[in-house]
Chains A and B, each alone.
Chain A
Amino acid sequence: MTAREELIRLTDVEKRYGRQSVLRIERLSIREGDRILLTGSNGSGKSTLLKLLAHVAPVNRGRIRWSPTLTAEPVGFVPQHGGLYGELTIHDNFDLRRGLYGKERIDAAESGDVRALGLAPLLDKRFDELSGGYQRLAAVAAALHVDPTWLILDEPFGGVERPYREAILGRLAQHDRRLRLLIVASPTPDEFPEANRRIELEAGRIECSER
Chain B
Amino acid sequence: MLGTLRVLRKDLLELLDGVRGILLVLVLPAVLLLLVGQLRVQSQPLQMLVAGEATGAEEKEFEAFLQLLEEIAGLEIELRDSPVVDPLETTRHGGFDLLLNIEGDTSRDWVFYTAETNRLRFVSLEQFVAGLDRALRVLELAQGDFGDPGTEFDAEIELLKAEIFALSAAASDRLVAYFPRAADRATDVVVRTAALILCFLPFVLAAPSLIREREAHTLEPLLAAPGIGPGAVMAGKALYALVVSLFNWLLMLVLVQSFYSLDVKSGLLQTTLFLLPALLSSALLGLAVSALARSQSQVIIAAALYFLGMTLFSGFLYPIEEASGTIQALSSLFSLTFVHPILTAWMLGAGAAALVSPETAALWAQVLVMGLGAVLAVRRSLRHI
Binding site for B on A (CB under 8 A): 17-18, 51, 54-58, 60, 72, 74-88, 92, 96-97, 99-102, 142-143, 152
Contact = CB atoms under 8 A, between A and B. Distances in A.
A82 B10 CA distance: 17
11 contacts: A18-B384, A54-B223, A55-B223, A56-B223, A56-B385, A77-B221, A81-B217, A82-B216, A99-B10, A100-B221, A101-B225
B221 A79 contact: yes
Interface string B219-234: 1111111111000000
B220 A87 contact: no
A148 B382 CA distance: 24
Interface in B107-139: none
Interface stretch (B11-19, B32-40, B246-254): B11-19
B225 A85 contact: no
B92 interface: no
Given A55-B223, A85-B14, A88-B17, A100 B218 contact: no
**Main secondary structure on B side of the interface with A:** helix
B135 to A, nearest CB: 62
Interface in B197-243: 216-228
Contact of A55 (B13, B14, B224): B224
Contacts of A101: 225-226
A78 B220 CA distance: 8
A81 B385 CA distance: 13
Contact of B217 (A60, A79, A96, A97): A79
Contact of A54 (B220, B227, B228, B384): B220
A60 B227 contact: no
Contact of B220 (A60, A74, A83, A88): A83
A75 B222 CA distance: 11
Contact of B383 (A60, A79, A80, A88): A60
B382 A57 contact: yes
Contacts of B17: 87-88, 92
Given A56-B385, A87-B18, A96 B221 contact: no
B209 to A, nearest CB: 12
Interface of B: 2, 6-7, 9-10, 13-14, 17-18, 21, 216-228, 382-385
A85 B221 contact: no
Contacts of A85: 14, 216, 218
A155 B197 CA distance: 44
A80 B217 CA distance: 8
B78 to A, nearest CB: 60
Contacts of B224: 54-56, 75-77, 152
Contacts of B217: 79-83
A79 B214 CA distance: 11
A51 B385 contact: yes
Contacts of B384: 17-18
A100 B223 contact: no
B10 A96 contact: yes
Contacts of B18: 87
A56 B6 CA distance: 17
Contacts of B227: 102
B9 to A, nearest CB: 6
A124 B6 CA distance: 23
Contact of A56 (B7, B21, B220, B226): B220
Contacts of A102: 2, 6, 226-227
Nearest to B229: A55
A75 B224 CA distance: 7
A83 B14 contact: no
B216 A58 contact: no
A100 B6 contact: yes
Given A51-B385, A96-B14, A142-B221, 6 more contacts: A54-B223, A77-B221, A84-B216, A84-B218, A85-B14, A99-B6
Nearest to B216: A82
A87 B219 CA distance: 15
Nearest to A92: B17
Contacts of B6: 99-100, 102
B237 to A, nearest CB: 14
Nearest to A154: B220
A97 B221 contact: yes
Contact of B10 (A51, A78, A100): A100
Question: What 7 pairs across the A-B complex have the smallest Cβ distances?
Answer: A82-B217, A77-B224, A100-B225, A79-B217, A57-B385, A79-B220, A56-B223
A100 B222 contact: yes
A56 B228 CA distance: 10
B2 A99 contact: no
Contacts of B7: 100
Contact of A96 (B13, B216, B226): B13
